[in-house]
Amino acid sequence: MGLSGDLSPAELRAALLAQAHADGAEAEERRALTTTEEERRVDIIRRYQQAFRRRERQKRYEQKQQRKESLAAQGHADAQFNLGFMHAKGRGVPPDYGLALKWYRLAAARG
């Protein structure tokens, strides 16, 4: 037996509208979940890319530091000054003001 036999036309119409509204709300919720999932995926990719760029930047600083240490050991004033700057500002290395001062003094002595 169908619902229409138990309900008046107004009640049937109200029941159908309520069901349509519920179906629409479920569809909207599914779209929201899909959007949320997509946003989550985009966020994961964005964070991965940022971590990758940070690591690449760190590698470049390490390479620069190795080259500058080699030149500084040979007495190049510019390399000594740059090493002092790297240690003073913490660029590619942990900040170390004692080492920064050492390299700045060596660079100053060289002119």
Structure tokens at 33: 């979940």
Q: Which residues of 75-85 are buried (b: 16+ CB within 10 A; e: fewer)?
A: ebbebbbbbbe
Res 6: pLDDT: 72
Res 79: pLDDT: 92
Collect the ranges in the chain with pLDDT lower than 70: 1-5, 7, 29, 32-34
Q: Provide the Cα torsion 37, 42, 45, 48; round to 10°.
A: -100
Res 1: pLDDT: 43
Do 52 and 62 meet the contact criterion of CB atoms below 8 Å apart?
no
